[in-house]
Amino acid sequence: MLAWSLLAGSALAAEVAKPQPGAVAEDAAAKVEEVSQTAVQAAFQILRSEYIRGGDLTYDELNRAAFQGLLERLDLGAELIRKAEAERPVLRRGVLAEMLTPEIAYLRPLAFAEEEAGQMELHLKKQVEAKVPYLILDLRSAVPPGDFAVAAAMLELFVPRAELMFKLKQVGREDAQLFIANRGPVWTQPLVVLVDAETCNLGETMAAVLRERKQALIIGSKTRGATVRYETLPLDAEWVLRFARAEMLLAGDRSLFREGVMPDFLLDLPVAVKRQFFDAAGPVKESLFDHSRVRYNEAALIARKNPELDSYIRRSAGEELADDRPALRDTVLQRAVDMLGARTHLQGSPLKWPAAKKRTEPAAPAEVKKAQPVKP
């Protein structure tokens, strides 16, 4: 029995000590970075001649391995995609606009298409005329990379005239393309911007510029850092290569490529949960506010109805009801609304502390004169 225990303990220790595949890959990548170019060439020659299955290491196999490794190293810089996927049109276009509360407006560009900048302008003008004090700009739409001229047109709705928004520097050129606001802003009120890891290159650029200028509060999760202009070229009849051709730079020549935008308030929402809300056809409010369950109250008593009876019967039969499961909510949007709502409440009800009364020191007791003896 003791021998079996020792064997089991040894097996368990070996399993715990066994490195994970991801850790092995990271360790190998770290070692490759330290190897010289001469060592790399020597490794290829040794493996092709001495490896037990050196015949499998054909030039075709080596080229594919090198191409795969190159794409992994470039990360966001290059991507191999199918031609049909690259040419697939975006189904949902336009701007989703809604009033979440009487004081908070909501805008979300769906595809970052050229015509959406004009649609955003119309919605913003209506909200300005209605004197809406707050705006939430949702940039979490998962769409393919777009044209930076669209990002500039959308930013002009917020940035003052003649201000430099960002630059676009192309490889092999010393000069950079400057994107300067050519018009006055439409929205100048407080602004909250929502981002996450699915925010496209245009959304990242807009969030970065607005945060750099201290014109918006960024809420959500860290973006990827794909702030580059992509170009797509065909490789064959089925595959195309999408690669970075120009890089976006902020006004101070700071690059966010592979760095991304770190929100002011970090909030994580699973992508699958967010897509449920974004794919739904209902209003945005459905993912924001909780609804109380209908209960048996005085009104139901007068009407001689029990709205809880049906739920009680179904639950007694072992059926799970929707009220038994916690409702999914867009927590990122919820926190943004909560923050703006708290700001509205505090501004409307300023705290007035009572003035402290001036403390008066008690008067010092008068000196008691020593009684003089009375002469007879």
- Asked if residue 248 lies in contact with residue 148, where contact means CB atoms within 8 angstroms, the answer is yes
Matching residue, tokens 């050129």 = 173
Q: Is the same domain home to 336 and 253?
A: no
- Asked if residue 105 lies in contact with residue 338, where contact means CB atoms within 8 angstroms, the answer is no
Residue 2 lies in a domain: no
Q: Is the same domain home to 262 and 291?
A: no
* pTM for the full predicted model: 0.79
First to last CA, the chain: 120
Q: How far apart are CA 226 and CA 205, in angstroms?
A: 9
Residue 28 lies in a domain: no
Domain boundary among 261, 279, 297: 279
CB atoms within 10 A of CB 109: 26
Residue 260: CATH number of its domain: 3.90.226.10
Q: Is the same domain home to 238 and 190?
A: yes
pLDDT per residue rounded down to tens, the chain (376 residues): 433 333 344 443 444 445 565 566 667 777 778 888 898 888 888 888 888 887 888 888 888 988 998 999 899 999 999 999 988 888 789 999 999 999 999 999 999 999 999 999 999 999 999 999 999 999 999 999 999 999 999 999 999 999 999 999 987 788 899 999 999 999 999 999 999 999 999 999 999 999 999 999 999 999 999 999 999 999 999 999 999 999 999 988 999 999 999 999 999 999 999 999 998 878 898 888 766 666 656 776 677 676 666 666 676 777 766 666 667 889 999 999 999 988 876 777 666 667 766 666 666 666 555 555 655 5
Residue 294 lies in a domain: yes
CA neighbor of 143 nearest in space, from 114, 111, 108, 107: 111
Q: DSSP secondary-structure letter at 204? A: H
Q: DSSP secondary-structure letter at 255? A: B
Q: At what angle do helices 148-155 and 114-129 cross, to 10 degrees?
A: 10
Q: Is the same domain home to 312 and 167?
A: no
Q: How many domains does one find in the chain?
A: 2
Q: Is the same domain home to 290 and 271?
A: no
Domain boundary among 254, 279, 304: 279
- Asked if residue 209 lies in contact with residue 155, where contact means CB atoms within 8 angstroms, the answer is yes
- Residue 370, φ and ψ in degrees, nearest 5: -70, 125
Residue 61 lies in a domain: no
- Residue 296, φ and ψ in degrees, nearest 5: -80, 110
Q: Count Cα atoms within 13 angstroms, Cβ side, for 21.
A: 0
Residue 68 lies in a domain: no
Q: How far apart are CA 158 and CA 189, in angstroms?
A: 9
Q: Is the same domain home to 275 and 296?
A: no
Q: How far apart are CA 175 and CA 80, in angstroms?
A: 29
Q: How far apart are CA 198 and CA 221, in angstroms?
A: 10
CA neighbor of 260 nearest in space, from 72, 76, 29, 73: 76
Residue 73 lies in a domain: no
Q: Is the same domain home to 168 and 274?
A: yes
CA neighbor of 145 nearest in space, from 247, 67, 215: 247
Matching residue, tokens 């004081």 = 103
Strands 164-170 and 177-180 come out as antiparallel
- What's the domain range around 153? 95-279
Domain boundary among 245, 279, 313: 279
Collect all residues with Cβ–Cβ distance below 8 Å to 265 and sequence separation of at least 6.
217, 218, 219, 335, 339
Q: Is the same domain home to 290 and 151?
A: no
Q: Is the same domain home to 197 and 320?
A: no
Q: Is the same domain home to 155 and 251?
A: yes
Residue 36 lies in a domain: no
- Residue 242, φ and ψ in degrees, nearest 5: -105, 120
- Asked if residue 137 lies in contact with residue 211, where contact means CB atoms within 8 angstroms, the answer is no
CA–CA distances in Å: residue 188 to residues 134, 155, 183, 215, 248: 10, 12, 13, 8, 25
Q: How far apart are CA 218 and CA 48, in angstroms?
A: 53
Residue 12 lies in a domain: no
Q: Is the same domain home to 317 and 222?
A: no
Q: Is the same domain home to 125 and 267?
A: yes
- Residue 341, φ and ψ in degrees, nearest 5: -65, -40
